[in-house]
């Protein structure tokens, strides 16, 4: 099983401690920069052949999971606040 701990690494002696793909000096941030700039993952892998495709995909999957988890937390918090407001409004209406 591929985990972020197996595919990313941070060392103060490598690129000032930037998060890089294991076994490379390629910053993980470069993957996101390429995608943000409109390039494909294939172009990124072509430019950085030392990065394995499965590693790049795993980083993107982890980023998605983080965003999805944050969205679920935000949704639960919003729903809770909405219920509080609705409950207060209901009590005020009945008073």
Task: Tell me the pLDDT tens digit for each residue of 11-61.
Answer: 999 999 999 999 999 999 999 999 999 999 999 999 999 999 999 999 999
Contact between 39 and 30 (Cβ < 8 Å):
no
Contact between 27 and 20 (Cβ < 8 Å):
yes
Instruction: Give the tens place of pLDDT for each residue, 51-95.
Output: 999 999 999 998 888 877 766 555 565 555 545 545 555 445 555
Q: What is the CA radius of gyration of the chain?
A: 21
* Domain span at 80: 4-94
Write down the pLDDT at residue 91.
47
Counted domains in the chain:
1
The beta strands (E) that lie in the chain are given as 8-9, 20-21
Bridge partners of 8?
21
Write down the pLDDT at residue 94.
52
List the CATH number of the domain containing 54. 1.10.10.10
Who's near 35: CB < 8 A, 6+ residues apart? Answer: 41, 44
């Amino acid at each position: 099983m591929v985990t972020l701990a197996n595919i990313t690494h941070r060392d103060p002696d490598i690129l000032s401690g930037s998060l890089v793909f294991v076994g490379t000096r390629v910053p993980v941030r470069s993957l996101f920069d390429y995608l943000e700039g409109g390039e494909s993952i294939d172009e990124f892998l072509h430019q950085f052949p030392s990065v394995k495709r499965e590693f790049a995909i795993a980083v993107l999957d982890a980023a998605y999971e983080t965003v999805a988890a944050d969205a679920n937390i935000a949704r639960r918090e919003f729903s809770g606040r909405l219920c509080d407001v609705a409950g207060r409004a209901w009590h005020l209406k009945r008073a």
